[in-house]
Amino acid sequence: MAFSIKVINTGIRALCLSEASGIYRVNVGVSCRSFWTEHAKLKSIVDRIWKDELPKPGNGKAYRRIVHYPEKYTVKPLNVTNLGGRDPVTGRVIVKGIGGGIKHKFHWVHFKREGPKEGPPIEERVIQIMDDGCRTGKIALVARGDELKYYIATENMKAGDIIKTSGYIPRIAVRPNEGDAYPLGALPMGIHVHCVQQYPGLDGHLVLAAGTRATLLRRIGNKVVVQLPSKHELLLHQECMAVVGRVSNVMHSRTPIGSPQRLRELGYRPRSGLWQRKSGRHGRKIKPLPPIRDTDNPRPPAPEPLILTLPDSKIYSKT
């Protein structure tokens, strides 16, 4: 009987059933995680036990909620479907630390601040500052004419403020107020910004968490070096828009949870307790920061995975 085996290192040995009544034991020296065979009965057992097709969180997928967006932008709170860390297609658990929590409506925040390239800037009035259960920072309801939008609120923003949005880059840097949106090339160096665009014309998706801020360090040609809250530095085009100021709810990261029940209300399931954070007695490893990353230069592709195979005649021994 012909067998085909693919061995991947994890920690388990397996028993393979043959067409006859005998039992063939896998003894490959290394532990195997998954294996495939042409035997129909064994293949059904393997398909039932192993979960090799489980997706992984990341790339924009958190497996926390699905937001039901309408076709047109609206300030009406949107309905959501809480996933609880499960794959919406198969229903299998992907992220074990997510589950439960208080149900919240989702407010559609407008992350793309666009202003005129010439002439006076656009002015909008802040109507209300409110909390959003689906994000850490507060949001601001702004109005211009008969149009309403949600923006990420800054630290000192309050109702009645007038915020400006302009896409013009003057010869001399402007003197903006908190909440104004300008291109990086129009702002003075050393100022704090948030909701930064990585590429001109896209939504601002850098520095959005509560209490975070980025700093403009220096200019290099028609680009600006931006230091993120993680101290990493990015080289962005001067036409990328950014909002002046620090994100609201500054005390979020320093506010204690208080009780395990409060953590469940936030949507986090209890952990096993096996992992403990190391204290100062273990020391720390100081690593140098990576060099400045230019967003215009793409990263090199990841190497292809190496698949190892073993010959059938050497790994089976009849017992």
The closest of 169, 306, 309, 156 to 245, measured between CA atoms, is 156
CA distance linking residue 213 with residue 169, whole number of Å: 22
Higher-scoring residue by pLDDT: 78, 30: 78
Examine residue 108 and state whether it is found in any structural domain, yes or no: no
For every residue of 37-90, DSSP letters joined together read -S-HHHHHHHHHH--TT---SBTTB-SSEEE---SS---SPBPEEE-TTB-TTT
- The answer to whether residue 128 scores a pLDDT higher than 90 is yes
Phi and psi at residue 240, to the nearest 5°:
-70, 130
- 131 and 46 in a single domain? The answer is no
- Total domains in the chain come to 2
With a cut of 50, say whether residue 9 has pLDDT above it.
no
CB 216 within 8 A of CB 194: no
Question: How sure is the predictor about 197, in pLDDT bands with cuts at 50, 70 and 90?
Answer: very high
Measured distance between the N- and C-terminal CA atoms of the chain, rounded to whole angstroms: 16
The β-bridge partners of 294 are: 235
pLDDT tens track for 132-184 = 999 999 999 999 999 999 999 999 999 999 999 999 999 999 999 999 999 99
pLDDT at 30 exceeding the cut of 80: no
In this structure, are 30 and 128 located in the same domain? no
Chain segment 225-268, per-residue pLDDT in tens: 999 999 999 999 999 999 999 999 999 999 999 999 999 999 99
Residue that is last in its domain, among 251, 273, 290: 251
The C-alpha atoms of residue 122 and residue 115 are separated, in whole angstroms, by 6
Separation of alpha carbons 139 and 248, rounded Å: 8
Q: Are residues 134 and 22 in the same domain?
A: no
Q: Is residue 294 part of a domain?
A: no
Same domain, 127 and 27: no
**Nearest residue to 227 via CA among 247, 241, 213:** 213
In tens, the pLDDT along 50-78 reads 445 677 777 778 899 999 999 999 999 99
Q: Is the pLDDT of residue 34 over 70?
A: no
- Domain finish residue from 233, 251, 269: 251
pTM above 0.85? no
In a domain, 271, yes or no: no
d(CA 61, CA 94) in angstroms, rounded, equals 11
Q: What is the pLDDT of residues 201-212, one digit of tens each?
A: 999 999 999 999
Residue 27: which domain range?
1-52
Greatest mean pLDDT range, 8-12, 90-94, 248-252: 248-252
Same structural domain, 31 and 152: no
For residues 226 and 131, membership in a common domain is answered with yes
Do both 147 and 239 map to the same domain?
A: yes
CATH code assigned at 135: 2.30.30.30
Query: What average pLDDT does range 277-282 have in this prediction?
Result: 79
Query: 309 lies in a domain?
Result: no
Given a cut of 60, whether residue 121 has pLDDT beyond it is yes
Residue 42 and residue 141 share a domain = no
Looking at the structure, tell me whether residues 144 and 37 fall in a common domain.
Answer: no
What was the pLDDT predicted at 59? 73
Q: Using the 8-state DSSP alphabet, how is residue 286 labeled?
A: -
The average confidence (pLDDT) of the chain is 83
Predicted local confidence at residue 42, as pLDDT: 58
How far apart CA 204 and CA 114 sit, in angstroms, is 11
Same domain, 29 and 131: no
Rounded mean pLDDT of 34-61?
60
Residues 6+ apart with CB under 8 A from 283: none
| Residue 147 domain-assigned (yes or no) | yes
Residue 15 identity? L
Share above pLDDT 90 across residues of the chain, in percent, rounded to a whole number = 61
Q: Is the pLDDT of residue 32 over 50?
A: no
The torsion angles phi and psi of 141, rounded to 5 degrees, stand at -90, 115
Residues forming beta bridges with residue 318, ordered by sequence position: 24
Whether the CB-CB separation of 144 and 124 falls below 8 Å is answered with: yes
Instruction: Report pLDDT for 162.
Output: 96
Asked if the structure places residue 313 within a domain, the reply is: no
Q: Tell which of 251, 266, 282 closes a domain.
A: 251
